Amino acid sequence: MFGGLLYNERIQSEKYIKMNNKEKEILIILQEECAEVIQEASKIFRFGFDSCYPTDDSATARERLTLELGQVLCMIGLLVERNVVDEEALLTAMEAKKIKLKKWSTIFEDEKEAIS
Over residues 22-74, the pLDDT tens digits come to 999 999 999 999 999 999 999 999 999 999 877 667 899 999 999 999 999 99
CA 9 to chain centre: 30
In angstroms, rounded to a whole number, what is the distance separating the alpha carbons of residues 82 and 45? 35
Q: What integer pLDDT is reported at residue 84 of this predicted model?
A: 95
Query: Where are the domains positioned within the chain?
Result: 20-85, 86-116
* Angle (nearest 5°) at CA 58 between 56 and 61: 90
Say how many C-beta atoms besides its own lie within 10 A of residue 102's C-beta: 13
Q: What integer pLDDT is reported at residue 1 of this predicted model?
A: 44
* pTM as predicted: 0.77
Amino acid (1-letter code) at residue 113 = E
Paired strand residues for 60: 52
